[in-house]
Amino acid sequence: MNMKRHLLLFSAMMFVACTLFTAVEAQQILLDGVNNNGTTQNDRMRFGPGASDEDSLSDEPEVPETVMLPLRPLALKSGDTRVYRMSGQHEVARFGLFLPYAMDDVALHLATRSAIDVLPARSTVEVAVNGTAIGSIVPDNFERSQTDTLAIPAGALTAGRNVVTLTAKQVHRVFCGPDAAFSLWTEIGLGASGVEILFDDLPTDALGFLAASVAQLARDMPLETHMASEGFSLSDAAPLIDRFDGVFGPMPPEISIEDYYSVTSGASQLARITVLPSGMVMPEGPQFLRGGDGALVLMLERGDFERAGEILSDALPPQPENEALARLEPGRPTPLSELGVEGVRGYGRYIQENVPFLLPQNWLLLASQEGILQLDWRFDTGLPKGGLLLVKMNNTTIRLLPLDEPENAGRPLPTLRIPFRANLLQPGANRLTFEALVPGDPPDQACVPREAPIFEVSGGTRLFVPPSPSMSLPGIDRTLAEVAQSSIRLSEAAEERLPLGLFPRLSSVLSGLSVRGDPDTPPEVRLTIGVPSDLDALSGDVVNGHQSELAKLFDTDDAEPVEQGDAWSRLKGESWLSDVIRPENLSALPAQVTEWLRAIWTGTGSELKEWLSSRSAEAVFLQPDMQRPEEIWLILKPGADHQHIVASLAETRQTFRGPKAQVSVFSPLTGWESWQAPNRPLQLHEALTPGNARAVVGNFVTIIPGRFIAPLLVLTALASAVALAIAVMTRRKRK
């Protein structure tokens, strides 16, 4: 009897379960404030692929109880956003720490790992928050990254972006000197460094969403954007991504574009963006909500990216500006203090301190004009014999100064006038460098730390750059200076082969390189992002006949740079004459003479085919036609690590490195390498006057000497012939 009762009960339960399974549709959560505009719930339903058995057995991802609000570097050093390496004997690094509200009674966590060569007893990393020193840590984590914790005083943190400054002072445990600096480093684990709070304490507003987004990216997870694909242009999202600039620093967030109806799998999301399909509206505009999984969600209508970006900007407290290059006005001495540098102080045994600055895009001097650096400086006492200070302009040494003269040490020195060639400078970004090398004393023992700087350069040091006529040469860098978001597009092939989230990031970075405002700017600038298959469709005086060589760049693995040996070492003990008369050298002589004659007429520079043959690339910038300088292309390898490419372009905002000239190739080993066409057309953007004639003619003669030397030679020959004829006729008359 009991058995029958159990069987009847089991049968009834199975019948009810089967009925519910076949009759009940999947639920859909309706959000308050969302107007469906007449569409029904069933109209909006879509069926996706069913979950696998493994997925059905696993628990749904849940947001963590605590979350680390991480450090973000304010200046880029590499494409790796997970760690930041502080190298050498002395380095100062600044990081952004974004908080949704002012916090008290919290601690700063620092996850570090150091090189085994670092001597902990004499090394330290000093920490300051918004200018307030909070303590220091000892770099003694060698095998793996470990975390140190420092208490932050009340009132030191504010809502928005805070600045955490780390000063690493590192001593080699065995050696002392310039060489020892290159084996010293301490890595900061960015995702595990910052301030830890409860995730539920993040407010459901703009600042809370931004803080959650930063925390998610520090976990090496992209910021997901869910949207319906029909009728959507990726460029629409760029204005929103731009607003993250004050939060994430120079590196825009990594974006993942997902279908609106897709379900997040794997690790839980802390933040995401949801764009409603067409027909669904939000009368109150973009809103911040809590998702079913606990994530903070920015929900907006299609086409409302600009408004969402404004909401984020309005919510941000006043933010310190990102590191940017200061402008230098040619024609007058400019103190370094006007370039944002109050003074330069060098610490350690190998020192490299840079002063970057910008020149106008239409500034151009190629001849023998002279710039002047009026240096006010001093160096410390007790420095060992052989110490040197190299003053460089764009990596070229313009003066070498001794640091081992006791009679001049320890006091301000008279202003030193240092002339340099103005043609070392370029339109756009430039860099003045102070590089010091100080031997160890003794070199085979750990250095004794010095509190005083090795040298000091006053902020009153003045840099004079001579003015130039408004002239320009076509180049990728000049066109990039005029790029706006509206002028950037994807090719059809790129839309199919590149990650969807890459375009908004590139659009944000590339438009951030703009320094618009100069007169006579190129009209209708167009930048197209493509893939190698687009090369066949390009035409112009630069790419014609070179499409196959350009395509091969993406098929070649990165090769180590080839080091050229000393020329004398290749003689193998033979006389120099025997090397000159080798058959292979004699056979190459006609080609060398031909190249020399061509260079006189068309300008110096290698042929593009030869230049490309020894290189590989993951990205290539092209100016296909110099007669259409406003059109440039960025060709990307679909399977490459685009993180390094985006980082290298973002770094261009802060350094003078980056794509230039007509062709520029990028690989992680070498960075950007550029080729300039020898026959670049020089353009004058102002009237020729007696005041600018000398500089204008000097530029033209320098870039293409043959076209001006040849007429001068002809004119000289004609003048000589006329003078000779006059002399002969005069002599005949006397007879």
Q: Looking at 470, 497, 522, which one is the last position of a domain?
A: 470
Do 281 and 145 sit in the same domain of this protein?
Answer: no
Mean pLDDT of 124-143: 97
Report the percentage of the chain scoring pLDDT > 70. Answer: 79
Residue-level pLDDT at 565:
43
Under 8 Å between Cβ of 476 and 660? yes
In a domain, 631, yes or no: yes
Using the predicted structure, report yes or no on whether residue 534 has a pLDDT greater than 80. Answer: yes
In which region does residue 284 sit, left (phi positive, over 0), alpha (psi from -120 to 50) or beta (all else)? alpha
Looking at the structure, do residues 225 and 277 belong to the same domain, yes or no?
yes
Which of 141, 172, 197 is at the close of a domain? 197
What's the pLDDT score for residue 583?
A: 65
- 630 has a pLDDT exceeding 80: yes
Residue 557: per-residue pLDDT: 62
Q: Are residues 501 and 524 in the same domain?
A: yes
Residue 239 falls inside a structural domain: yes
Structural domain total, the chain: 5
- Residue 147 makes CB contacts below 8 A (sequence gap 6+) with 109, 110, 111, 112, 192, 193
pLDDT reported for residue 713: 79
pLDDT class of 604 with cuts at 50, 70, 90: low
For residue 634, pLDDT over 70 is answered with: yes
- For the ranges 162-171, 214-223, 582-591, the one whose mean pLDDT is highest: 162-171
User: 343 and 483 share a domain?
Assistant: no
Residue-wise over 687-713: b if at least 16 C-beta within 10 A, else e? eeeeebeebbebbbbbbbeeeeeeeee
Query: Does the residue 155 lie in any domain?
Result: yes
Residue 573 lies in a domain: no
Burial of 89 (0-12, 13-18, 19+ CB in 10 A): buried
pLDDT value, residue 47: 31
Segment holding 479, helix H or strand E: helix 476-480
Write down the mean pLDDT value for the chain: 83
Give the Cα separation of 161 and 97 in Å (integer): 5
For residue 441, the domain's CATH number is 2.60.120.260
Sign of CA dihedral 278, 281, 287, 293: negative
Measure Cα distances from 177 to 173, 280, 411, 441, 606 in Å: 12, 67, 24, 8, 40
pLDDT at residue 248 in the model:
75
Give the pLDDT confidence score for residue 228 in this predicted structure: 77
Is the predicted pLDDT of residue 675 greater than 50, yes or no? yes
Q: Please answer whether residues 373 and 418 qualify as being in contact, where contact means their C-beta atoms are separated by less than 8 angstroms.
A: yes
Same domain, 150 and 223: no
CATH number, domain of 271, equals: 3.30.379.20
Q: What DSSP letter does each residue of 547-600 carry, written as one string?
A: HHHHHHGGGSPP-PPPPPPPGGGGGTTS-HHHHHT-HHHHHHHHHHHHHHHHHH
Does 164 share its domain with 208? no
pLDDT at 585: 60
Under the banding of pLDDT at 50, 70 and 90, the label for residue 302 is: confident
- Residue 92 placed within a domain: yes
Note the pLDDT of residue 348. Answer: 95
* Whole-angstrom distance, CA of residue 110 vs CA of residue 195: 9
Helix (H, G, I), strand (E, B) or coil at 27: coil
Q: How far is CA 502 from the centre of its chain?
A: 15
- Residue 618 to residue 646: CA distance in whole angstroms: 12
Res. 413 pLDDT band, cuts 50 70 90: very high
Burial of 450 (C-beta count, 10 Å sphere; 0-12/13-18/19+): middle
> E strand or H helix at 610, and its extent?
helix 608-612
What is the pLDDT, as a whole number, of residue 655? 75
Q: Which residue has the tokens 């469709």?
A: 537
In terms of domains, do 105 and 142 share one? yes
d(Cα 414, Cα 429) in Å, to the nearest integer?
A: 30
d(C-alpha 334, C-alpha 336), whole Å: 6
- Which residues 6+ apart lie within 8 Å of 260 measured at CB? 226, 227, 228, 274, 275, 276, 277
**Distances, alpha carbon 632 to alpha carbons 16, 476, 478, 599, 606, in Å:** 66, 7, 11, 26, 21
Is residue 275 located within the same domain as residue 221?
Answer: yes
The answer to whether residue 40 sits within a structural domain is no
Task: Examine the pLDDT at 599 and tell me if it is beyond 80.
Answer: no
Q: The tokens of 568 are what?
A: 């004398």
Per-residue pLDDT band for 588 (boundaries 50, 70, 90) equals: low
- pLDDT tens digit string along 393-406? 999 999 999 999 99
Using 50, 70 and 90 to split pLDDT, how confident is the model at 293?
Answer: confident
State mean pLDDT over 533-556.
93
Residue 547 φ then ψ, to 5°: -60, -40
> Quick one: pLDDT at residue 107?
97
**According to the model, what pLDDT value does residue 568 have?**
38
Q: Could you tell me if residue 31 is inside a domain? A: no
SS3 at position 342: coil
584 vs 627, higher pLDDT = 627
Predicted pLDDT of residue 48: 34
Q: In sequence order, what DSSP letters do the residues of 160-223 get, joined into one string?
A: EEEEEEEEEE--BSS--STGGGGG-EEEEEGGG-EEEEEGGGS-SSHHHHHHHHHHHHHTT--E
Beta strand pairing status for 194-198 and 146-151? unpaired
Residue at which a domain ends, from 470, 498, 532: 470
Q: Between 534 and 259, where is the model more confident?
A: 534
pLDDT confidence bin for 203, thresholds 50/70/90: very high
pLDDT score at 261? 78
Name which of 325, 288, 123 is nearest 206 in CA terms.
Answer: 288
Range from 245-259, 406-420, 668-682 carrying the lowest mean pLDDT: 245-259
Q: How far apart (Å, rounded) are the C-alpha atoms in residues 188 and 146? A: 10
- Lowest-pLDDT range, 194-208, 418-432, 556-570? 556-570
Q: What pLDDT digit, counting tens, does each position of 7-60 carry?
A: 444 454 444 344 434 333 333 333 444 444 433 333 333 333 333 333 333 344
Burial classification of residue 679, based on how many CB atoms lie within 10 Å of its CB (0-12 exposed, 13-18 middle, 19 or more buried): middle
Beta strands in 248-293 (DSSP E): 255-259, 271-275, 287-290
- Burial (0-12, 13-18, 19+ Cβ within 10 Å), 131: exposed
Q: Could you tell me the residue range of the domain that residue 442 belongs to?
A: 326-470
pTM exceeds 0.85? no
Q: What number of residues does the chain have?
A: 735
What is the Cα gyration radius of the chain?
32
Q: Is the pLDDT of residue 438 over 90?
A: yes
Q: Which residues contact 226 (CB under 8 A, 6 or more apart)?
A: 258, 259, 260, 262, 272, 273, 274, 275
Return the pLDDT at 36: 47
Neighbours of 109 (CB within 10 A): 18
Residue 333 shares a structural domain with residue 406: yes
**Of 384 and 78, which is predicted with more confidence?**
384
Within 408-501, strands assigned E span 416-421, 428-437, 455-458, 462-464, 471-472, 488-490
Same-domain check for residues 662 and 726? no
Give yes or no: residues 524 and 635 share one domain.
yes
> Is 389 or 18 the better-scoring residue by pLDDT?
389
- What's the burial of 84, exposed, middle or buried (CB within 10 Å: 0-12/13-18/19+)? buried
Q: Which of 146, 133, 142, 137 is nearest to 168 (CA)?
A: 137
The H or E element that residue 709 is part of is helix 706-734
Q: Decide: 184 and 89 in contact? Cβ < 8 Å.
A: yes
Q: Go through 385-410 and write b for each residue having 16 or more CB atoms within 10 A of its CB, e for each that does not.
A: eebebbbbbeeeebbebebeeeeeee
Are 483 and 431 part of one and the same domain?
Answer: no
1 lies in some domain: no
Between 88-92, 172-176, 315-319, 670-674, the lowest mean confidence (pLDDT) is in 315-319
Averaged pLDDT for residues 563-581? 46
